[in-house]
Amino acid sequence: MQSELGIEQLQEAMSSGRASARSLTEFHLDRIERMDRSGPELRAVLALNPDARSIADDLDAERRRGAIRGPLHGIPLLIKGNIDTADGMTTTAGSLALSGHVASADAFLVRRLRAAGAVLLGKANLSEWANFRGRRSISGWSSEGGQTRNPYVLDRSPCGSSSGSAVAVAAGLCVAAVGTETDGSIVCPSHVNGIVGVKPTLGTISRRGIIPIAHSQDTAGPMARSVRDAALLLRALAGADPCDPATHIPIAARVMDYAQGLVAARLDGVRLGIARDLAAGRPAVNDVLEASIAALHGLGATVVDPIPLNVPDALRASELEVLMHEFKHDVNTYLDGLGPTAAVHSLSQVIEFNRAHREQVMPFFGQEAMIEAEARGPLNSPAYREARATCRRLARDEGLDAVVRTHRLDAIVSLSGGPAWLIDHVHGDYGVAGPSALPAISGYPHITVPAGFAYGLPIGLSFFGPAYSDAALLRIAGAFESATRARRRPRYLRHATSRP
């Protein structure tokens, strides 16, 4: 069995009897055993599901009876370690403060995956607390799971916070995975690990049962090796949740089948704006952008190059203020609802736990973000309300909405960032910023697709646009992917080279 096969290819193999949910599960569990803790020591997986084999057996029995639930029936997936499952796995966000905690209920998205017939192999490692703990955080490091490594070049960062999800997909430890994003946490790890990542419009996927940072920006999303696989996974994840008001989006904006529109090979009539200033890079990186623009031209798209788009300092400051206030409120609400398996039930208790276990929890960086959040006021404070209003105005009204309207765009295009930086446990992350802020703060969709290589490291191309344009972005990204076929398998190099 090849580790690069897509969802539909695997369905065909199971339908013909050449594979089964059990054989696929065994294949991926064996690959995790060989590559995650030994071999290249990717450390992409936090925990394995003790029920994975029995779930696969049950799904195979259903298939023999002719009861196939859909495209994900029998497909092995991983989910990020901050997503609740009420089974034999813990939900910890990579933190020792939540070690041993077993959720009392599945996250809403987990219920949908189970109903769709997916086999949950386990939980993926992540940047601890989804990268919301200290100022000098290290992407892919958690006190529970250790350091996740980029499979293309092992001394390079996997980016965060959905590091383990991205690495596992890139290395073939699962067919696809689920990550979460507040600002860049799906897009960046997907970009530097050479896969497709989708941050959908806020409210497309329920937030219930995910350890939160900020309700105004948090969302889960699919991570896969192809646009089509990402679209199939998004279809299973998306749905209205009676307990999450953000998912009650207009019926006209709902898409029943995100993969349906991926058949078009050209982009005639599509207008794309190039936002060069959001992720400028070295010549080898900019060469990827120029080749990508040429490919989009070749597909028939009308390219507006460049478009004026930036992230004002006032927006960055307001976003931080919003995240601080919402983190205090949202994580306290989540922790307060935990049962007796959890050792902490408030942000202040997490802070004290980290101090008491400093050597294990904070050997490389501290918890300044948590301490600053704890000092913030409630969500009815003037500081929060003003910051939230500024975010909406600058990211939406005067930001993405204004640019899309002025230039009559279907989508905005940018490099997803620079090549992965060296893992540095002394200084922390220092990667080149990408274009994630505007779509993240606005709550609008953002997709990254492999576009090429620089210095032997993957470079992604981003497509983002207005609210509920997810299906249109997937069609554009799919056409680009089909024309370029830029993704290559990782080689697990020890050091970067100048060759792809």
Kindly list the domain boundaries of the chain, sorted by start residue.
7-484
Strand partners, 198: 447
- β-partners of residue 405 are none
The token duo for 372 is 């600053």
pLDDT at site 77: 98
Give catalytic status of residue 161 as yes or no.
yes
- What are the beta bridge partners of residue 196? 224
453: which strand partners? 458
* Distance, CA of 70 to CA of 257 (rounded, Å): 12
**What would the pLDDT profile of 435-462 be if each residue is shown by its tens digit?**
999 999 999 999 999 999 999 999 999 9
* Inter-axis angle of helices 21-35 and 7-16, nearest 10: 130
CA atoms within 13 A on the CB side of 87: 22
Question: Do β-strands 141-142 and 219-224 pair in parallel, antiparallel, or remain unpaired?
Answer: unpaired
Catalytic site residue from 95, 139, 185, 292:
185
Please tell me the predicted confidence (pLDDT) of residue 279.
Answer: 83
Measure Cα distances from 308 to 184, 275, 399, 406, 479 in Å: 21, 7, 10, 11, 25
**Tens digits of residue pLDDT in 46-98:** 999 999 999 999 999 999 999 999 999 999 999 999 999 999 999 999 999 99
pLDDT on residue 500: 42
Contact 56, 72 (CB under 8 A): no
- Under a CB-based contact definition with an 8 Å cutoff, are residues 173 and 31 in contact? yes
Range 7-484 has CATH code 3.90.1300.10? yes
Task: State the pLDDT at residue 385.
Answer: 98
Cα–Cα dist 287/307, whole Å:
19
pTM > 0.85: yes
Distances (CA, A) of 471 to 166, 201, 235, 445: 22, 10, 10, 10
Among residues 20, 80, 216, 416, which one is catalytic?
A: 80
Average pLDDT, the chain: 96
Sites in the chain below the pLDDT cut of 70: 1, 252, 432, 497-500
Instruction: State how far the Cα of 267 lies from the Cα of 256, in Å rounded to an integer.
Output: 22
Is residue 80 annotated as a catalytic residue, yes or no?
A: yes
Query: SS3 sequence, the chain?
Result: CCCCCCHHHHHHHHHHCCCCHHHHHHHHHHHHHHHCCCCCCCCCEEEECCCHHHHHHHHHHHHHCCCCCCCCCCCEEEEECCECCCCCCCCCCCCHHHCCCCCCCCCHHHHHHHHCCCEEEEEECCCHHHHCCCCCCCCCEECCCEECCCCCECCECCCCCCHHHHHHHHCCCCCEEEEEECCCCCHHHHHHCCCEEEECCCCCCCCCCECCCCCCCCEEEEEECCHHHHHHHHHHHCCCECCEHHHCCCHHHCCCCCCCCCCCCCCCCCEEEECHHHCCCCHHHHHHHHHHHHHHHHCCCEEECCCCCCCCHHHHHHHHHHHHHHHHHHHHHHHHCCCCCCCCCCHHHHHHHHHHCHHHHCCCCCCHHHHHHHCCCCCCCHHHHHHHHHHHHHHHHHHHHHHHHHCCCCEEEEECCCCCCECCCCCCCCCCCCCCHHHHHHCCCEEEEEEEEECCEEEEEEEECCCCCHHHHHHHHHHHHHHHCCCCCCCCECCCCCCC
123 is catalytic: no
Catalytic residue among 127, 139, 161, 318: 161
Amino acid at 273: G
Biggest CA-to-CA distance, the chain = 62
Tell me the C-alpha distance between 197 and 439, whole Å.
14
Q: At residue 366, what is the residue type?
A: G
pLDDT at 432: 67
